[in-house]
Structure 1
């Protein structure tokens, strides 16, 4: 199943992600953080731009932290090739981008719930929250003035939502993972850290369950956007399940 040429869309997505990563290195060496331009900020942030809804899918943690892009590109090659060959180029492209959009929506919906709760706490601590939000233009040195507050930690936490961009193809990748499990539920999968082969119909749901657990345990902003992964997974399930009845797969 995996000993096949890389199909066109998957190959181009691999190339585009690689070029974006290379660009972050080149521009970063010149003091320009592309993550702050192309990563997706919280929509209420003054740093948010419409194009970020799409461009964040091609951004990854900057060099030398290459594990983020390596995992995503390995999964894109491994699962994307099979999914593309099965559902066709058009549907595959729709799946990739709609899953990425779904990850953005769910991630920011959960952020909204947390942000609105924090706003109440920070306002009660004596901070003018609307003025604070307006002042949070992303800083090149990562330093921000924390206003006088009765709850400094909650104020810092609230500020983090407005100055930290969402980056990565992970939401789209999780859409592909779930799509693969829907198409080939009995395919045996194994990872380096768990080398025992398990059917995709069990393996992928366990991965999603772990993501959900981690998302609940780390509800506040953290380096891994678990709810983004879940958002992409939901879209992958819904789309591929709807398309599968018109396909003839060897599952």
Structure 2
């Protein structure tokens, strides 16, 4: 069984458990105030395996399933066993943790601020994929008229997450999306520096349509 599928199944199980147990939800959710004052650092990880509702869960896991398997296969193809799987696991789990650090710093004195979801880890995996396949067309919501090269969507995603995070737009942790994506790029470059030349070579063939 792939690590992608294992993470996906654990996330579904954890989310279902939290939805049916309010005490468990409160214990696992990312509350920066509790982390700071009660040293509950485990919340950095547990919050990445629970979700707000069914739509939130389905969206994150759908994206993770689509791209996680591909990135995992790339890593296991590049690195000898078991390091490919280990590095893929670190990419995803560390993406969840690192993406929440800015949120922790920003909200650690706000007792009622909470965040949850795998978005940081999913963004890390997605942007790792885009480094390997920058010109592969991605279709928003599967709509053929909204298909553009991944690198273009990456730029839009980063800009939107940055400005939305600054404005505090909606009930979404845009900072987790932004920093998860940035972490995915940096991590991939650090563990596989050759990706830089591979990326540049592919970008020579860039066209918008």
Sort the TM-score into its range (normalised by shorter chain).
0.7 to 0.9
Contact 2:123–2:177 under 8 Å retained in 1: yes
Which residue of the partner structure matches residue 57 of structure 1? 48
Comparing both chains, which one has the higher relative contact order based on Cα–Cα distances under 8 Å and sequence gaps of 6 or more? 1
- SS at 1:198's partner residue? strand
* Residue number in structure 1 paired with 2:67: 79
Structure 2 unmatched runs, 5+: 77-84, 203-209
Which of the two has higher C-alpha Rg? Answer: 1
Matched residue SS, 1:13: helix
* Maintained 8 Å contact 1:60/1:69: yes
Structure 1 unaligned spans of 5+: 1-6, 116-160
Between 164-173 and 187-196, report the one with greater CA deviation. Answer: 187-196
1:34–1:48 CA distance, 2 compared to 1 (3 A): farther
> How many angstroms apart in 2 are the aligned matches of 1:227 and 1:214?
8
Residue 111 (structure 2) pairs with residue 162 (structure 1) = yes
CA distance in 2, matches of 1:194, 1:101: 32
CA distance in 2, matches of 1:12, 1:178: 21
**Cα deviation per residue 1:160-198 (whole Å; 9 max; x = unaligned)?**
x31232211011111111111111111110112764221
Residue 183 of structure 1 is aligned with which of 128, 132, 136? 132
State the partner residue of 1:216: 166
> Structure 1-normalised TM-score?
0.68
Deviation at 1:55, TM superposition (A): 0.7
Tell me whether 46-55 or 229-238 shows the greater mean CA deviation: 46-55
Deviations 1:42-92 (A, max 9, x none): 14655662221211110110xxx3111111000110111111100121111
Please say if residues 41 and 48 of structure 1, whose CA atoms lie closer than 8 Å, have aligned partners that are also in contact.
no
**Alignment CA distance shift 1:49-1:17 (3 Å):** same
Distance between the aligned counterparts of 2:137 and 2:18, measured in 1? 36
Q: TM-score, normalised by structure 2?
A: 0.81
Q: Alignment RMSD, CA only?
A: 2.4
Corresponding position: 1:105 with 2:76 = no
For 2:9, the equivalent position in structure 1 comes to 15
